[in-house]
Structure 1
Amino acid sequence: MNTTAAVLWTGGKDCALAFHKAQYAGYNITHLVTFAPENPDFKAHNLTLIQQQVKAIGLPHLLLTVKPPMQESYESAIATLKNQYKIETLITGDIDEVQNHDNWIEKCCQKSGMFVYNPLWKKDRNGLLTNLIEENFKVIFSLVKKPFFNQNWVGKVIDSSIIEELKKLNIDICGENGEYHTMAINAPFFSEEIKIDSHTVTEHEHYFYLTNH
């Protein structure tokens, strides 16, 4: 397959696993793409960490600004990817509809005719998390929401015992409703593991998150 593709990159477990599965499926991944608001301040997906991931992956990273009206802004950015960067397929780590909304990226791709590949869509949640361990990903919790989690979860690595802990909580175990967010610090397609030398856990009214120094 010689389809030129880009992965929608947030730095978390889902986009990282989607990247890996798309590689196996034969997609020619040429770019990483992150949609961001003006002056982004990502709590869950630290841009400094994303830059380290990009270096470890070794692909160009496009940070595209989106602003209201959102659908038009996304459609315009996606058209740019197609026309200027000759990208034919967008790969997402989407697993399910969020709060019963349509697949947002697919909706925004219709106007330009961009193809979308969702390798994780509607897959078994336990299977996806187990997949990460089997394929030697190293993924940490970067943000966890109250009241499901306390601050001790921030920075923990997802392993089989953590999956069992997640099953005991009254949540989507993949965090699909925003219960938690993650960052991949190693993956089969990274040239090296990302080192987080020092970090603090910051408390917010509704969540705890990792601040990298």
Structure 2
Amino acid sequence: MAETQTAEPKTVLSWSGGKDAAYALFELGEVTELLTSVGENGRSSMHGVRRELYDAQAEALGIPIRYIELPMECSNEEYESRMAAVMAEYETRGIERVAFADLFLEDIRAYRKEQLAGTDIEGSWPVWNPDTDEQIRRYLDAGFRATVVTVDGAELDASFAGRELDESFLADVPDGVDPCGENGEFHTFVWDGPTFDSPLSVEVGETVTKEVGDGEYHYCDLY
């Protein structure tokens, strides 16, 4: 008797456009949709990446992308309301799982679980709790390439923004900075890798420094 094939759950991947999300997709193999948020200015609030660059990623990956559009001064309550509306829609579409690329921040994971509570959608963490020294090697060895788009000025100076995330970058990172930037030290935009049909043509633009909350962040614009 032939074995019964169990269908993979319909999965949406929470998408930052960065290295961890790209590696999570690599681990998952197949997802129904990418999900990310952008502000009214057409950029992601955390990374400052332009919406058209996310569109280019999605096209190169061959996966649809869904945007949650947020006001520029977005309260947490408004964010949660808009996210809940999308999750309700996903339930009607038969989405069974939302995957996240968090590595080890327990409070973030607990928050995501809380937001999914009361729905039929499960959370999934395909790259959870690695040794981050080993994880960044797995990422590089897989052939991914990315540009650093945001750095926390309290951890890294502005010269790190706009650099490729490679062996040279890692060699220059000060002690105490997580090699995957999981504590928010830096964020990336992936433009090539084993899941891409072809590399994106990305041009590095100006780096600007902005005050965000009580901190200072350096943003490198990409085109």
Q: TM-score, normalised by structure 1?
A: 0.85
Q: Per-residue CA shift, 1:55-87, capped at 9, x if unaligned?
A: 111211111246624444423321212213x22
Structure 1 outlier segments of 4+, above 6 Å: none
Contact 1:12 1:45 in 2 (8 A): no
**5 Å matches for 1:162-201?**
162-166=169-173, 168-201=174-207
Task: Output the amino acid matched with 2:53.
Answer: L
Structure 1 unaligned residues grouped into runs of 5+: none
In structure 2, the CA distance between the partners of 1:189 and 1:97, relative to structure 1 (3 Å rule), is same
**Within the alignment, does 1:87 sit opposite 2:80 as a pair?**
no
**Within the alignment, does 1:208 sit opposite 2:210 as a pair?**
no
Query: Matches of 1:186 and 1:110 in 2, distance apart?
Result: 35
Following superposition, the deviation at residue 128 of structure 1 comes to 1.3
Task: Output the amino acid matched with 1:169.
Answer: D
SS in 2 for 1:56: helix
Aligned to 2:104: 96
Contact 1:11 1:45 in 2 (8 A): no
Contact 1:148 1:169 in 2 (8 A): no
The number of residue pairs the alignment matches comes to 206
Contact 2:20 2:101 in 1 (8 A): yes
**Within the alignment, does 1:22 sit opposite 2:28 as a pair?**
yes
Task: Output the amino acid matched with 2:88.
Answer: A
Cα RMSD over matched residues?
Answer: 2.2
**5 Å matches for 1:31-180?**
31-37=33-39, 39=41, 41-42=43-44, 44-46=47-49, 47-65=51-69, 68-84=77-93, 86-97=94-105, 100-166=107-173, 168-180=174-186
Structure 2 unaligned residues grouped into runs of 5+: 1-6
Percent of counterpart pairs with the same letter? 21
Q: TM-score, normalised by structure 2?
A: 0.82
Task: Output the amino acid matched with 1:31.
Answer: E
Contact 2:34 2:64 in 1 (8 A): yes
The structure with the larger Rg is 2
Query: Matches of 1:35 and 1:185 in 2, distance apart?
Result: 19
